[in-house]
Structure 1
Amino acid sequence: MADVEIRTFTADDADAVLSVILSIQREEFGIDITVDAQPDLRVIPDFYQSGKGQFWVAVKDDAIVGTVGLKDIGNNQAALRKMFVSAEVRGHEHRVAARLLDRLFAHARDAGLTDIFLGTTDKFVAAHRFYEKNGFTEIAKSALPRAFPLMAVDSKFYRYKIG
């Protein structure tokens, strides 16, 4: 859909990204988490936009309505983090999550990555279905690479093999 643009994060997006992610985490999913518990969100260029990583936003009517980050963890592997889509643009008709993921996959292939890992909570059942539908396979926590940045709330883990 032309009404939502997917583009790379710029420094001007920082506050809007924080507010979109925090409102989804706290209000929608009732996760008691603060900005301070997610220091990566204050340093997106350093944390995500380095090495083979990147961070994208979905923009509708000049407002950020979605995010996804790819963190380079070395060894041609990366972690998918901070995939959030505002409720009003979720679902098949908007395809915001699918388009964010497509952009991430294209970047990962171009960058020569071989695997993408992600962790999520068991609360995000719709997200589990989405990841599985898009080629991610559930793995045991013990199968994660040592460099994977574990979050305290993560209890379910996935891997996507590129190529």
Structure 2
Amino acid sequence: MKMGIQQLDNTYSEELINLILTIQQKEFNVPITIEDQPDLKEIEIFYIESGGNFWGAFVDGELVGSIALVKFDARAGAVRKMFVKKEFRGKELNIAQKLLEVLIFFCRNNGIEKIYLGTVNILKAAMRFYERNYFVEIKKEDLPPRFPLMNADNVFYYLDVNQ
């Protein structure tokens, strides 16, 4: 199995939508549709042009994971669209870890010092993953004013990428 991570653009929208919606709707029963996530059809405008980025993890040419960064302030970003296909999760390939490391490396190289994220409290494995990676849980009211909130999120984390 050959695993690689690369930057994504709009040409990957369909593959991304299939990956993400399958996980959201079928695996976790999150009541979210593509209409709720127009950013997935406008990756370049929504993520890249504003100073963030979007990456995909591929195994033998198949898109199996994703992570994105929305830059919402001069030195702050939000982690978005962190998903790994069920059968590719875990320590063996360590895809989630590698995706997060690519994002943090990008932040350090682009002057983004603080990253924030929101998740849903039913995603226990995701919460443990962020905590293992030194993210600190914060209250919703302690998020920066310009943080792009998602309706479903009810747990929030923060990381200083230079620590």
Q: Quick check: TM above 0.5?
A: yes
Map residues 92-131 of structure 1 onto 2, 5 A cutoff. Answer: 92-131=91-130
- 1:91-128 per-residue CA deviation (whole Å, 9 max, x = no partner) reads 00110000000000000000011100000001110000
> How many residues are paired up?
162
Q: Measure how far apart 1:52 and its partner are.
A: 2.6
Alpha carbons 1:50, 1:72 under 8 Å: kept: no
1:29-67 per-residue CA deviation (whole Å, 9 max, x = no partner) reads: 011211001111111111111233000000112111000
Mapped to 2, the partners of 1:70 and 1:47 lie a distance apart of 10
| Amino acid aligned to 1:123 | I
The answer to whether the 8 A contact 1:3-1:61 is kept is yes
5+ residue gaps, structure 2: none
Q: Deviating runs (4+, > 3 A) in structure 1?
A: none
> Percent of aligned pairs with the same residue?
40
Structure 2 SS opposite 1:145: coil
Question: Which structure 1 residue ranges, 5 or more long, are not aligned?
Answer: none
Q: Provide TM-score, normalisation by structure 2.
A: 0.96
Helix, strand or coil at the partner of 1:48: helix
Alignment match, 1:145: 144
Whole-angstrom CA distance in 1 between matches of 2:159 and 2:46: 21
**Helix, strand or coil: the match of 1:147?**
coil
Q: Distance in 2 between matches of 1:123 and 1:40?
A: 24
